[in-house]
Amino acid sequence: MMQRTVKLSWLLALIIAILIPLTSSAQTRPPLPYEDTGACPFECCTYREWVVNKRTPIYRSRNNNSPVVFTVAPRDRVRGITGVVITTKAGEIKITRPITIQAYSDRGTTSRNIQARPGDIIYLLTSQGEGSYKAWYKGQLIIINAIDVMEENQPGSAGYGNRIPPTTSTWWVQIRNRQGQTGWTVEAGNFDNKDACGVPVDRSL
C-alpha cells in the first residue's frame, strides 16, 4: 500500500511538472486573432473626413463576400468613422539580457518600468507608428517603443526589421457617405487625409 501511494505521488508530481510549463507558456501568448477596436495604426492617424483616391466598394460587414452597400469614387468625401485592426500573427521580441523597459498602459495614459529577463518574449500586436506598438507581455496589454527595446537589447548595427518577425494584420475601416450609408472596407489606402500631421486636403477640390 505504501509503495502504491509513493508511486501515485511520483506520478502526480510528474504530471504537475509537465503541465505547469505548458500552462505558463499558454498564459504568456496573446489571444489570436486579436481585434483592436478603434485602432488607427500609424502616427497621427485619425478618423475624420477622408477623400477617396480610388474607386472602392464598401461592404455591409467586415467581409469582402458580404453585400456591397455603396461604392465611392475618386474625389468623393466620406467620413472615416472608426476601424478595427485584426492581428492574426504577432511579431516577437526575444529578450537576451536583462533590460528595463518603459511601458505604458494600453490606453497610453500611465507608464511604468518593466524588468524583462532573458528568455522573455514580448509579442507585438498593433502598430502605433514610429516603432511604437501595442504589445502583450506576460498576460498584460502594454504600449512600448519596439525600436528602443531592440537597440538596448541588441546593441550594434543589427537591423531592426530583420530582428523582429513582422506582425500579420488587417485594417478594416468603417465609412459613412454623404447619404448617411455606412459600411466597411479593407482598402484604407484608397483614402487620403488620414494623417493629422500632414497637409490638410484642399477643401476647394
Domain ranges of the chain: 1-29, 34-86+168-192, 91-158
At residue 201 the predicted structure's pLDDT band, cuts being 50, 70 and 90, is low
Encode pLDDT of 65-103 as tens digits: 999 999 999 999 999 999 999 999 999 988 888 888 999
pLDDT at 157: 39
At residue 135 the predicted structure's pLDDT band, cuts being 50, 70 and 90, is very high
At residue 165 the predicted structure's pLDDT band, cuts being 50, 70 and 90, is confident
Whether residue 109 is predicted with pLDDT greater than 60 in this model: the reply is: yes
* CATH class for the region spanning 91-158: mainly beta
Whether residue 136 is predicted with pLDDT greater than 80 in this model: the reply is: yes
Q: What span, in angstroms and rounded, lies between the C-alpha atoms of 51 and 28?
A: 41
* CATH class for the region spanning 34-86+168-192: mainly beta
Q: Is pTM, for the whole model, over 0.85?
A: no
Does this chain's domain 34-86+168-192 share its CATH topology with 91-158? yes
Number of residues written out for the chain: 205
What's the mean pLDDT in 104-128? 88
Return the sign of the alpha-carbon dihedral for residues 16, 21, 24, 29.
negative
Nearest residue to 53 (alpha-carbon basis) of 188, 155, 202: 188
